[in-house]
A and B are shown apart, each in its own frame.
Chain A
Amino acid sequence: MRRLAVAAAATVLLAGAGTAPAQTIAITNARIHTMAGPVIERGTVVIRDGYIAAVGAGVEVPAGARVIDAAGKVVTPGFIDSGTQLGLVEVGAVEGTRDARVNDDRITAAFNPADGLDPHSSPVAVTRAEGITRAIVAPTPGASLIAGQAVLVDLGGETPMEMVRKSPVGMVAVLGERGSQLSGGARAAAILRLREVFEDVRDYMVNRNAYETASRRDYSLSRLDLEALVPVARGEVPLILEVHRSSDILVALRLARELRVRLILAGATEGWMVADEIAAAGVPVVLNPLVNLPSSFEQLGATLENAARLHAAGVTVAFASFDAHNSRNLKQAAGNAVAYGMPYEAALRAVTADAARVWGVDDRYGTIEVGKEADVVVWSGDPLELTTSVEHVIIRGREVSTDNRQKRLFERYRRLDGTMPNAYRH
């Protein structure tokens, strides 16, 4: 039983099960941001059996391929939103449709929201239609400063199993003000609590038999949570710490060294203030570039230049909406990062190649290179520009529908002059 539990908690890369046979698609005459080299001004991408089969300026279109003429269009990898609740929430205020948080303190680190995913949740289709093909789905803190496990999903999947592409990609926890609230009311108590957690996990790792026979001291965590944290203690799964104040970030960096865990910083509103230290630690940052309100005393340094400054210091940055319904505004956020100093290619990487790197899946996604899974979007123009449309969305080699509830509602109400009620239009 124990072995099974360990296997379940370890990082599992899931094979592409159950997808319909993918056709061969050739996107021609496109301006291609491969994210793995210079922009190809007028090139072709060939997609076969779910993977990129060829990309370049002089690539032949295979016989029988479906051709998408993208003259005047822009092609990029599908965008990755590095922090969402997609598939976990249908209506924010309707409790039964929310599955991103658990308030049972025996299930904290062990909480993996993947079993609650709904591929038919309407925000998934709305987001997919806007060129976002992958997302990190992350839990939010409930009873504990450890919120649970984040997973990588593909927004084209028809089942929860098809959606989940890597699970877990990280263990989510929170420090700073929220961490303080969840640890008795002081920041330092949250640090102490995380130390205790990892001491217990490491003790458990070498004393499992004693634990099973109840001949070891009590641990501060449930058995499920201890098991879930083993891969984090081993450095196989990163710890994602949401933290904002510059001093809290420095403490988080020190704690990660001390606990010998791999760290990803999330939020990091004041990250720019300690950008060199973050860069030196080799720790990536997941952030929303639009956060610029001094909305708490731990965010007084909030600025629209956060992403640009972190990037300039050499930090790997990935962008997140931290939203579900408006995950689609990730593009707007990236565009604003450019407006406030981030190089264009870097902002594009923060939603493609660098995001894949942060989540440890850059061998499979994030660029348009031969052998990569074919998540490709054809845009009418600059993908970060507000007035640009999405023309084709391809996920793992299949063009997916960009239809959704919102488009159906628009069509239904496009005219109000029918003799019969609009309810008959569907």
Chain B
Amino acid sequence: MHLRACLWVLAAAATAGCATASPQGASSGPKPRAEAAGTAEKASVFAADPFVSTYEPLPSRPTLIRNATILTAAGPILRNASLLMSGGRIVEVGTNIEAPADAVVIDATGKWVTPGIIDTHSHLGVYPSPEVDALADGNEMTAPNTAEVWAEHSIWPQDPQFALALAGGVTTMQILPGSANLFGGRGVTVKNVPARTYQAMKFPGAPHGLKMACGENPSRVYGGRGRSPMTGMGNVAGYREAWIRAARYRDEWKRWEEGGADPARMPQRNLQLETLAGVLEGEILVHNHCYRADEMAIMIDLAKEFGYRISSFHHAVEAYKVRDLLAREGICASMWADWWGFKMEAYDGILENIALVHEAGGCAIVHSDDASGIQRLNQEAAKVLRAANEAGMGITYEDAIRWITINPAKALGIDDRTGSLEPGKMADVVIWSGDPFSVYTRAEKVFIDGALVFDRNDPNLQPKSDFMLGNERKEVVS
């Protein structure tokens, strides 16, 4: 398989393979009160977001899906059931739902319905296809702390991989910077709709993420250049030093606000510290690339030292070894079903990892970190189901569906809005040709905010990026 996630490139190549992004342009002038999209009332100075979401749901009609097998991710499997959506929201899930007069009625006999698939870890748009240097903008490998960069400013909305992920039922994803740095920058959560600008994909009101990275990548990249961090201990010193500065920065701004916020005496903005201060204020969620169990335990202590929360560990190949700790601390783990062995910190991967985290009461997530894997997150979950049940763990479909829907929504801070099929939530819905945990099943229809945005049986409802337009291929007739 062609694996090209940044970590893989870093791992497999003797040289650090991820291309470096162009330096971002200068920031605009001080606008500490700029509104964060959708959460203007909550945003502090640190989470201020001048890059406002312009996302608007696509046109939809009230739609009733009938006679389906439904996995809601919020309760038991429903057989021969219906789902009604209207105005972009889920209205009702159950049996004996009457179709409103103007509703589109879909007979889903033999088909299954799930929430839209959510991926906590994607590099679509920042590592697009085609893999050319000009577009490989996911890893600002210029300093171990680049908390000031935002992945969203590297997104190429014309990446054809978005449409492929959509055909796999993915409705929402977080796009993260790469993992070369201790602090890689901010991640952004997007709705998987085709758009001319990334702002038109940006999930309204979703908090930013901060990508942090443990382990081999930062120490290899920077140690290889003869600078810190060169070791695991260098990594930890680097985090701590940064958080000390961030806490001071936050306090400086708080004192200024409490002292009347005199514009003439406003502190100097620092984009790097602004991101870290946003984490300390709980407004930016930490997504921490970390493979080894012992390193996760270190990161948990570190978070406690500075008073922030880790939303999810990512990759977490050894999460099973500290699953009790993760459950106790309420930290999600975003994991692959079966990737292992491509580097030392991935050597102890086991097929039951995700199921063990789940069984311990933790928040288990299947993530992709890969443009191929994101197309089949349901299949990845199925492989874990198989391994877990072979080991007698008694994992159910109701459990497994959570790993790719509501649990990732929770890690991204959007589980109150999407991730399960419950009245009032966004109508992000997939109709599958059959059992979503079968290798033969394909997503047939995908709805985002109630709008039918993909239909396998209707070429007019299969988005195609500008890049692919005119680049389609057909049989050669010679």
Please give the residue numbers on chain A whose beta carbons come within 8 Å of chain B beta carbons, in ascending order. 90-95, 122-123, 246, 250, 270, 272-277, 288, 290-297, 299-301, 321-326, 328-329, 332-333, 335-336, 338-339, 384-389, 406-407, 409-410, 413-414, 416, 422
B160 CB → nearest A CB, Å: 6
B383 at the interface (CB under 8 A from A): yes
Contact A290 B348 (CB under 8 A): no
Q: Is the CB of B371 within 8 A of A293?
A: yes
- Say whether, besides A92-B341, A409-B348, A413-B320, A295 and B12 are in contact (CB < 8 Å): no
A91 with B439: in contact, given A273-B474, A295-B131 (CB under 8 Å)?
no
Q: Contact between A94 and B343 (Cβ–Cβ < 8 Å)?
A: yes
User: 27 A-B pairs, CB-CB below 8 angstroms?
Assistant: A90-B341, A93-B342, A93-B343, A94-B344, A250-B476, A272-B475, A274-B475, A292-B375, A294-B130, A294-B471, A295-B2, A295-B129, A295-B371, A300-B468, A300-B471, A301-B473, A328-B338, A329-B338, A332-B383, A335-B440, A385-B439, A385-B440, A386-B385, A386-B386, A409-B350, A410-B350, A414-B391
How many contacts A-B (CB < 8 Å)? 151
B303 contacts A by Cβ under 8 Å: no
Instruction: Check B356 for interface membership: any CB of A closer than 8 A.
Output: yes
Contact A93 B11 (CB under 8 A): yes
A321, B3: Cα distance in complex, Å: 11
CA distance A154 to B315 in the complex (A): 32
Q: Which residues on B sit within 8 Å (CB–CB) of A90?
A: 341
- For the complex, give the distance between the alpha carbons of A292 and B372 in Å: 8
Q: A273-B475, A332-B383, A339-B440 are in contact. Are A293 and B344 (CB under 8 A)?
A: no
1/0 per position for B42-82, CB-CB distance to A under 8 A? Answer: 00000000000000000000000000000000000000000
Contact yes or no, A297 B440, CB < 8 A: no
**Contacts of A270 on B, CB cut-off 8 Å?**
473
CB–CB B323/A416 < 8 A: yes
8 Å CB contact of A386 from B324, B344, B439: B439
A324 cross-chain contacts in B, Cβ below 8 A: 341
Contact partner of B438 (CB less than 8 A), chosen from A299, A333, A386, A414, is A386
Would you call A300 and B320 a contact (CB within 8 A)?
Answer: no
Q: Smallest CB–CB gap between A328 and chain B, Å?
A: 7
Residues of B within 8 A of A332 (CB): 379, 383, 439
Residue of B131, B348, B473, B474 contacting most chain A CB atoms (<10 Å): B473
Residues of A within 8 A of B321 (CB): 413, 422
Minimum Cβ distance to chain A for residue B5 (Å): 12
A18 to chain B, nearest CB (A): 28
- How many residues in B have their beta carbons less than 8 Å from beta carbons of A? 59
Among B122-171, those with CB < 8 Å from A are 129-132, 160-161, 164
Complex Cα distance A2/B338, Å?
48
Please provide the chain B residues from 82 to 133 with a CB less than 8 Å away from any CB of chain A in the complex. 129-132
A161–B348 alpha-carbon span in the complex (Å): 28
Min CB–CB distance B87 → chain A (angstroms): 34
Spell out B's residues near A (CB within 8 Å).
1-4, 11-12, 14, 129-132, 160-161, 164, 216, 320-321, 323-324, 338-344, 347-352, 356, 371-372, 375-376, 379, 382-383, 385-386, 389-391, 437-442, 467-468, 471, 473-476, 478
**Cα–Cα distance between A422 and B160 once the two chains are bound (Å):** 47
| A293-B2, A322-B1, A406-B340 known; A273 vs B473 contact (CB < 8 Å) | yes
The 8 Å CB contact of B342, one of A95, A325, A333, A406, is: A325
Q: Are A288 and B471 in contact (CB under 8 A)?
A: no
With both beta carbons as reference points, the residue of chain B lying nearest to A416 in the complex is identified as B324
Please tell me if the beta carbons of A294 and B340 are within 8 angstroms of each other in the complex: no
Residues of B within 8 A of A338 (CB): 439-440
Contact indicator A290/B372 (Cβ below 8 Å): yes
CB-based contact B343/A246 at 8 Å: no
8 Å CB contact of B372 from A93, A123, A293, A416 = A293
Bound: A387/B386 CA distance, A: 5
Q: How far is the CA of A270 from the CA of B471 in the complex (A)?
A: 13
Contacts of A93 in B (CB 8 A): 11-12, 216, 342-344
With A122-B341, A389-B390 as known contacts, state yes or no: A296 contacts B1, CB within 8 Å.
no
- 14 more contacts with CB within 8 A, not counting A293-B371, A410-B351, A413-B321, are A246-B473, A273-B474, A277-B476, A293-B164, A295-B129, A323-B1, A325-B340, A332-B383, A333-B1, A385-B438, A387-B385, A389-B390, A409-B348, A414-B391
Name, among A246, A300, A328, A389, the residue most crowded by chain B CB atoms within 10 Å (CB to CB).
A300
B349 adjacent to A406 (CB under 8 Å): yes
Evaluate whether A297 and B130 lie within 8 angstroms (CB atoms) in the complex, with A272-B475, A387-B385 already known. Answer: yes
Are B11 and A321 in contact, CB atoms less than 8 angstroms apart? no
Q: Is the CB of A339 within 8 A of B343?
A: no
CB distance from B392 to the nearest CB of A (A): 10
Residues of A within 8 A of B14 (CB): 95
Q: Are B130 and A296 in contact (CB under 8 A)?
A: yes
Contact A386 B437, beta carbon cutoff 8 Å: yes
Q: What are the residues of chain A within 8 A of B344 when measuring CB–CB?
A: 91, 93-94
Min CB–CB distance B260 → chain A (angstroms): 53
CB pair B131–A296 under 8 Å, yes or no, is yes
Which B residue's beta carbon lies closest to that of A296?
B130
Q: Check A92–B342 contact: CB distance below 8 A.
A: yes
A204 to chain B minimum Cβ distance, whole angstroms, is 34
Neighbouring B residues of A414 by C-beta, 8 Å: 391
B11 in complex: contacting residue of A92, A123, A273, A410, CB < 8 Å: A92
- Name the A residues within 8 Å of B471 (CB-CB): 294, 300
Could you say which residues of chain A place their CB within 8 Å of the CB of B349? 406
Say yes or no: A326-B473 contact (C-beta < 8 A), given A292-B164, A338-B440, A406-B349: no
Q: Chain B nearest CB: distance from A409 CB in Å?
A: 5
Inter-subunit contact B391/A410 (CB<8 Å): yes
- Residues from chain A with a CB closer than 8 A to the CB of B376 are 336
Contact check, A386 vs B216: say whether CB atoms are below 8 A apart.
Answer: no
CB distance from A93 to the nearest CB of B (A): 4
Smallest beta-carbon distance A380→chain B, Å:
9
Which single member of B323, B341, B442 contacts A325 (CB below 8 Å)? Answer: B341
A339–B441 touching, CB < 8 Å: yes
Inter-chain CA distance A386–B131, complex, in Å, is 30
The residue among B130, B161, B324 with the most chain A CB atoms within 10 A of its own CB is B130
- What residues on A are CB-neighbors of B129 within 8 Å? 293-296
| Chain B positions within 8 Å of A413 at CB level | 320-321, 350, 356
Min CB distance, A347 to chain B, in Å? 10
- Contacts A293-B164, A296-B131, A339-B442 given: A387-B382 contact, CB under 8 Å? yes
- B439 engages A410 (CB within 8 Å): no
CB distance from A141 to the nearest CB of B (A): 14
Interface pair A326/B439, CB less than 8 Å apart: no
Contacts of B372 in A (CB 8 A): 290-293
A273 neighbours in B (Cβ, 8 Å): 473-476
Chain A residues whose C-beta falls within 8 Å of the C-beta of B130 in the assembled complex: 294-297, 299-300
Chain B residue at smallest Cβ distance from A417: B324
- CB-based nearest B residue for A298: B130
CB distance from A415 to the nearest CB of B (A): 11
Closest 6 CB pairs of A and B: A301-B473, A335-B439, A93-B343, A92-B342, A386-B382, A325-B341
Give min CB distance, B101 to chain A, whole Å.
Answer: 37
For residue A317, give the distance in angstroms from its CB to the closest CB of chain B: 17
Q: With A and B bound together, what is the CA distance between A28 and B471 in angstroms?
A: 53
The 8 Å CB contact of A274, one of B164, B320, B437, B476, is B476
Tell me which residues across on chain B come within 8 A of A294, comparing CB atoms. 129-130, 160, 467-468, 471
Distance of A322 Cα from B378 Cα, bound (Å):
23
B379 in contact with A386 (CB, 8 Å): yes
Inside 8 A of A335's CB, which chain B residues have their CB?
Answer: 439-440
Are A326 and B338 touching (Cβ within 8 A)? Answer: yes
**B383 nearest CB neighbor, chain A only:** A386
CA distance A294 to B438 in the complex (A): 26
Q: Would A329 and B12 be within 8 Å (CB), given that A91-B343, A293-B371, A336-B439 are in contact?
A: no
CB within 8 Å for A388 and B441 given contacts A93-B11, A94-B344, A326-B1:
no
